[in-house]
Amino acid sequence: MEAGKITFARLCYEELLRTKERDSIGLLAEKRLHGLLKRWILDNATCHEKKVPGRDGKLTRFEADILTPAGDIYEIQTGKLYPLRRKVTFYMEETDFRLTVVHPLIGQKWISWMDPATGEVSVRKKSPLHETPLRALGELKPFLDYLGSPRFSLCLPLLEVDEYRLLDGWSRDKKRGSHRYELMPMALLDTCILQKKEDYLALFPTAAPETFTAKEFGKLTHLRGYDLYDVLFVFEGLGAVEKCGTKGRAALYRRLI
């Protein structure tokens, strides 16, 4: 784990130097982070952006972010996982490769505000918001059939980042509705690997009561909206919970683990 953190820190430093040399501030953040993670996983460009063969050996239209000589595919998705559904289905149903989906999470974020007229940048402040592996679990809803398969893994790098935002929003302080100008990864805080069914079930909160509603589960986990219901759907599919009636007008869940 420490070796991974050191490698990530080195790559972040190299990226920062490239940014200064090429005046590339404002580069699409997802593209920058995607490239950095690709090098962190395997710093060998000959294995990047490779066409994937089917079981008959013929190359297909699908291109993997990383395809190793050992038969491992890595797909890096910095945004929502749903757009990967076709690729994942193909890899799992039409090939014998092992697949790891890499989905970075923001574990700690520092925000600086930039005046678009003057270029003046505020002192960076720590954001109270952060992402968790539990929240990411809900994004696996389209891939529920593959959870626990020895050929499917989820890698969740937990990152520290610097975010620069423009003061161009609609609110009085110009922060609401503002646009991100830059996102710079700074450090790897931790890495969560989910492969076996037990790995996913370990994310279930131990403090959950025997029965609960979605609203009560949301208060416990700080999940809400689609994230909340998608996480419950995945836990239900994994056999961690089941619906057992209603409480008022709300569905009641029973924990099974």
CA distance 53 to 23: 39
Q: What is the pLDDT of residue 179?
A: 85
* In the chain, % of residues over pLDDT 70: 94
Q: What is the mean pLDDT of the chain?
A: 91
Question: Is the same domain home to 92 and 25?
Answer: yes
Question: Which residue type occupies 161?
Answer: V
- Per-residue pLDDT reduced to its tens digit, 209-251: 999 999 999 999 999 999 999 999 999 999 999 999 999 899 9
Which pLDDT score is estimated for 207?
94
pLDDT tens for each residue of 41-78: 999 999 999 999 999 989 999 999 999 999 999 999 99
| Whether residues 194 and 226 fall in one domain | no
Distances, alpha carbon 67 to alpha carbons 4, 80, 153, 252, in Å? 20, 22, 15, 44
Same domain, 238 and 131: no
The per-residue pLDDT for 214 is 96
CA angle 220, 193, 67 (to 5 degrees): 140
Domain that holds residue 102: 2-203
DSSP 179: -
On whether both 189 and 214 belong to a single domain, the answer is no
In this structure, the answer to whether residues 198 and 125 fall within a common structural domain is yes
CATH of the domain at 232: 1.10.10
Q: Do the Cβ atoms of 78 and 30 come closer than 8 Å?
A: yes
Asked if pLDDT for residue 103 goes beyond 70, the answer is: yes
**pTM score, whole prediction:** 0.89
Counted domains in the chain: 2
What integer pLDDT is reported at residue 251 of this predicted model?
94
**Closest to 231 (Cα-Cα) out of 136, 139, 134, 138:** 138
Q: What is the pLDDT of residue 1?
A: 52
Average pLDDT over residues 147-173: 93
**More confident call, 38 vs 181:** 38
